[in-house]
Structures are given as C-alpha cells and as structure tokens.
Amino acid sequence: MIGRLNHVAIAVSDLAAAAAIYRGRLGAEVSAPVALPEHGVTTVFVTLPNAKIELLQPLGEHSPIAKFLERNPDGGIHHLCYEVSDIRAAREKLKAEGARVLGDGEPKVGAHGKPVLFLHPKDFCGTLIELEEV
C-alpha cells in the first residue's frame, strides 16, 4: 500500500543552526524557512536525490512538536512520511485493521499542499507515521 519514502522530519529547537548543519557541513540543498502557522511549525526543506528531510521548529504556543522537544532537547527524528495513491482508501484499510488515525481522521493539507494523515506511533513500531497522497 505505501509507496516511496517522501520525507523524514526532524524536530529542532534552532532552525537556523540546523539549516546551517545541512547546508554547510553536509553540503545539501536547503530551502529558506517556511512558516506553516496552521501546523504550528516553521520548516526548512532539505532536498536529497531520493527523498526530503524536513527540519521542523515550533511556531506559536501550541505547537504539536513542543512536547517532543521537551523530551528531546537536542532534537530528533519526529516522523516518517510515506506516499500513498489514495489516502482515504489507505485510512479505511488501516482503521479496519485497528490502527489509530490521529485527530479527527480527516486528511488535512500538509506542508506540500497535498492531503496528509498521521498514524499513532504505538501502532507502528514506536514511529509517528505521516501518509501523503501523491
């Protein structure tokens, strides 16, 4: 059902420092910061030949990554995003198998302008999973 790995998201407390590590030390192609207030994050996109890395910094008081950074003050891998061709069909299949979809279960427009859903880490080997319809 899942297709390509779309991106790995890394939560950080200092986005400029993280962008400098990827641009300078690792020599990657790094975007300017993009504020996504509806998701509570500011993002820098790192484009690799086979996938993207998204560096996420909290934005606003109720950022969904604030608690994660409290537990992981140095930053850390926050979620993996897999591509699916039909996000609603994927959701129905997963729910029928007992997997938990986060939020109200309705796809929301993600950082790339496409529908996304998040799946409970306890149902997926301790990893928060994002599905993106492509």
Work out whether 15 is an interface residue with Co ion (CB under 5 A): no
The residue among 94, 73, 76, 69 whose CA lies nearest residue 84 is 94
DSSP-H helix ranges across 25-86: 66-71
β-bridge pairing 5-11 and 76-84: antiparallel
Give the helix/strand (H/E) hosting 94. helix 87-96
Work out whether 9 is an interface residue with Co ion (CB under 5 A): yes
Measured CA to CA, the distance from residue 71 to residue 118 in angstroms comes to 20
Work out whether 94 is an interface residue with Co ion (CB under 5 A): no
Q: Which of 82, 117, 130, 131 binds Co ion (CB under 5 A)?
A: 130
- Is residue 38 part of the annotated active site? The answer reads no
Nearest approach, Cβ of residue 78 and Co ion (Å): 8
Work out whether 55 is an interface residue with Co ion (CB under 5 A): no
x/- contact string, 67-86, with Co ion (CB under 5 A)? --------------x-----
Residues found near Co ion in the complex (CB under 5 A) = 9, 81, 130
